[in-house]
Structure 1
């Protein structure tokens, strides 16, 4: 929009970015690599804005307006009014910049467009308006600011997720190392027993040999888990009391006991523990997890942050997709227990039980 223009209410908006934002998906107006790049761009555009102000290019106006039949007085009045109009416009622009959020960019742009239209109407006699190039710079400043705020948010979330991943990896490494130490000690113990038996008790000797074979397999499995970072458990869990009956979380963990991870999730910022529908060990749990996520990608709760692994789906729907990828599922629990949730509902205050029912 130019300084004197406006948006025709009869025109249908076809900007895909606005359509996507209406459903909660943010698209960058000026895609850049990181927040630092946006800061640099903002510094450049703000310098260009200041240059336009100091050079007198921010407000366009006729130099032929006369006052009391005096062209000089008319030009003085035009210059003074231009400063006043520019101050009002810049105040509105600065408010838009300070209050902008990634989700309200369209509102901020509309507000600034209206300010430009108002100034053009007030200055119509002098053909005065905010210069199109200056207005475009301030709109670009708004877009870059919104992009910058979103990029900062995404980088913070990525950093948090990376910290969580590293924390989880350290736990896995510690568990596997402790398990290997335990297995080594147990194997050394049975090896000593085998040595002390000699050849007198063949039945006991065979029992010890079988035990050593079991321990060797356990050590081999443990070493495999240490070297193959893609191996782990894919889990399907739900929390009916927190999210409703048709929402599941699909994730993966490399923990020796995957229920440790499930219990952690149930103790973090949710009122009830999670119910487990499936725990499936896979040599390539990462690929399997991604396949399940892709199958339900259109049913995500959070389309802005794909690290949030919650989906609008029933456990039965996930079971069918999982079975299609891995074949027969030996264990899968359809119905959640939701024990604490069901026990709690009867004690909730009147009118509070607005959540899902079973």
Structure 2
């Protein structure tokens, strides 16, 4: 029963059932409901909506859409960097320049242009005919003071956007600046006050250049870090080759002396002669690798426990013992060791690795940084491409043992883990 103090509901609103014997005083809504035969719950058929009900639903739908449009208005700014970056995708330079230093020079130039526009009074547009107390002079003074306040608020928002700007994400900052400009135009509509297009474009360009500078600076740091790692690796390889050459020279001298002593006694030792030939061949290979920096091992490895199935790393090492490099990659930075699918020696391993990376570029896990070497591919798929490049493969393991991972997964405290699929 409704509260007696309630007014009659709008036509089409079915809120309650009419009590027995009260049909003669039923409301229009009750009459609509009373026309529907009551059946047991399990066999009740949906009532056909009347035109009044449909009109009400249309009005409600329109009201909800209006609320949604209001929430999605320019005043609403998404501040979640993670969500914005995911929506935007790969970062594209707005003003491609060669180096971070070039961006700094361009930023210094645009700061000068911004100051010139403010000094010339072209930063904010306002009405010159606004009156206050029936006085045009007082109206202009009031407009000028408010314009200064509005411009200071806009510049504060722009400066905050610059300070909070992160590499790769300029979208949020530009939305904040657009929202600030819209708010100023709304508040100053009586005086026809707004931030000028020229000034707004300059501050937008400043944001874009700053974002580009941050990204370029980050890229240059990563390149420098990779270059230092490459030099350290080359120095380590050079030392390994030098130590190996010294060891081989020492062994060869020993073998030559032994063979010379046997020759003086008129004796022969085929095993020593064969060993000397092996040492000479090892010295030749060592010298070749020392002279040819492109020679090395291309490896294909995976880590199911850390990265999931069907993800491989395709890399290159020039070390004499390439498994030492793979062992380092499976250090403290990942929870499990890597499984090795192949170690293929090539006289031009640099080109071979580059060709494999190009082939699987569209499957790269990190699409924003091409220097990373992880790809969404199975070992069998990499093997097919590798065979096309080199002709044949003596050793290649398509399955991954993942021993540590399989031994650990059963004891994990959280049972529903996505990697288990």
Q: 1:180 and 1:129 mapped to 2: Cα distance?
A: 76
Instruction: Compute the displacement of 1:200 (Å).
Output: 4.2
Are the equivalent residues in 1 in contact too, given 2:262–2:268 (CA < 8 A)? no
Instruction: Compute the displacement of 1:40 (Å).
Output: 1.4
Q: 1:20 and 1:96 mapped to 2: Cα distance?
A: 16
What does 1:1-358 correspond to in 2, within 5 Å? 22=87, 24-198=89-263, 200=265, 202-204=267-269, 206-351=270-415, 353-357=417-421
Q: 1:201 and 1:261 mapped to 2: Cα distance?
A: 48
Are the equivalent residues in 2 in contact too, given 1:345–1:353 (CA < 8 A)? no
- Structure of greater relative contact order (alpha carbons < 8 Å, 6+ residues apart): 1
Q: 1:354 and 1:298 mapped to 2: Cα distance?
A: 24
User: Is the partner of 1:154 in helix, strand or coil?
Assistant: helix
- Structure 2 unpaired stretches of 5+: 1-71, 75-83
Are the equivalent residues in 1 in contact too, given 2:167–2:218 (CA < 8 A)? no
1:236-265 superposed Cα distances (whole Å, 9 cap, x missing partner): 000011001110000011101110110111
Aligned to 2:66: none
Are the equivalent residues in 1 in contact too, given 2:294–2:347 (CA < 8 A)? yes
Number of matched residues? 341
Q: 1:307 and 1:351 mapped to 2: Cα distance?
A: 34
Calculate the TM-score normalised by the size of structure 2: 0.78
Are the equivalent residues in 1 in contact too, given 2:154–2:181 (CA < 8 A)? yes
Instruction: Compute the displacement of 1:160 (Å).
Output: 0.9
Q: 2:416 and 2:334 mapped to 1: Cα distance?
A: 17
Calculate the TM-score normalised by the size of structure 1: 0.91
- Structure 1 unpaired stretches of 5+: 1-6, 10-18
- Over the residues paired in the alignment, what is the CA RMSD in angstroms? 1.9
Instruction: Compute the displacement of 1:55 (Å).
Output: 2.8
Q: 1:337 and 1:34 mapped to 2: Cα distance?
A: 45
User: Is the partner of 2:170 in helix, strand or coil?
Assistant: helix
User: Is the partner of 1:251 in helix, strand or coil?
Assistant: strand
Q: 1:350 and 1:102 mapped to 2: Cα distance?
A: 35
Aligned to 1:14: none
Instruction: Compute the displacement of 1:92 (Å).
Output: 1.2
Are the equivalent residues in 2 in contact too, given 1:190–1:208 (CA < 8 A)? yes
User: Is the partner of 2:168 in helix, strand or coil?
Assistant: helix
Are the equivalent residues in 1 in contact too, given 2:174–2:204 (CA < 8 A)? yes
Instruction: Compute the displacement of 1:51 (Å).
Output: 2.4
